[in-house]
Amino acid sequence: MDSSNPNSVLIFEDYNSPLIDLLSSLAEEEKVVLVGHSAGGVSLTHAIHMFGKKIDLAIYVGAKMLLSGFRTQQDIIDAVPDLSEFGKNIYDLEFGMGRDQPPTSTVIKMEFRQEIIYQISPLEDCSLASMLVKPGPVRAVQGAQFVEGEEVDEIKRMYIKTMHNRMLKPTQQDAMIKRWASSDVFVAESDHSPNFSAPFELFNLLHKACNLHARV
């Protein structure tokens, strides 16, 4: 678990440097399967642009899948959580650059986490996960913008929709899939956290995705 202060991570390239460093260290002929969940989808797309030749398969799990990052208002509509139905004061915000600047990190308040993130996950998993949740560097993630790589559409991508996801609603996932079509789309009956709410289904879908790719 990265111990960096999220308020000091202001640029997406800094946020994603652990993944990029890993990919850059791979041998020339070595390839990997990458899985990105939630905001991890932005990291996955960045990796595709930077090191597409080293990625054998990219799997987005209820993840933000934006070809060029956050460049347009439509990108924000499709990939930023709309939690207005739960009220206006559901985030703990931190302003590392001062109150006159946009927040540098954010996290959903403890009392809302079960209802929004883990609503069909086992209570014991929800309780433990809620204690481990850390603020995310929202300024860095939402500042991500990519220049399209030459071979970006040659990288095989698969998407696993999380059908009861309140952080990234199915309609948002559908919109991103429509804008940047993936090779295959699977469906998981999970909340935002399929590793808790549907772990066996998630494992089976990941296994299926890899097997389908291996046959191509």
Instruction: Provide mean pLDDT across the span 114-125.
Output: 95
Q: How confident is the model at residue 57 (pLDDT cuts 50, 70, 90)?
A: very high
| Domains, the chain, ordered by start | 6-213 (3.40.50.1820)
Whether the pTM exceeds 0.85: the reply is yes
Which two tokens mark 131? 């204690």
Q: How confident is the model at residue 153 (pLDDT cuts 50, 70, 90)?
A: confident
Kindly tell me if the per-residue pLDDT of 216 is higher than 70.
no
Distance separating alpha carbons of residues 24 and 28, to the nearest angstrom: 9
Mean pLDDT of the chain: 94
Q: What angle do CA 180, 186, 191 make, to 5 degrees?
A: 100
Give me the pLDDT at residue 124, please.
93
| 215 against 154, higher pLDDT | 154
Kindly tell me if the per-residue pLDDT of 160 is higher than 80.
yes
Give me the pLDDT at residue 215, please.
63
pLDDT tens-digit series, residues 192-209: 999 999 999 999 999 999
Contact 168, 141 (CB under 8 A): no
Kindly tell me if the per-residue pLDDT of 94 is higher than 70.
yes
What's the sign of the alpha-carbon dihedral 61, 65, 69, 70?
negative
Report the share of the chain in percent with pLDDT over 90: 86
Instruction: Provide mean pLDDT across the span 158-184.
Output: 96
pLDDT tens-digit series, residues 4-23: 899 999 999 999 999 999 99
Contact 165, 38 (CB under 8 A): no
Q: Tell me which residue has tokens 């935002």.
A: 192
Kindly tell me if the per-residue pLDDT of 167 is higher than 80.
yes
Question: Nearest to residue 65, comparing CAs of 152, 194, 189?
Answer: 152
Kindly tell me if the per-residue pLDDT of 163 is higher than 90.
yes
Question: Nearest to residue 141, comparing CAs of 81, 192, 198, 100?
Answer: 81
Q: How confident is the model at residue 131 (pLDDT cuts 50, 70, 90)?
A: confident
Contact 86, 113 (CB under 8 A): no
Instruction: Provide mean pLDDT across the span 15-41.
Output: 96
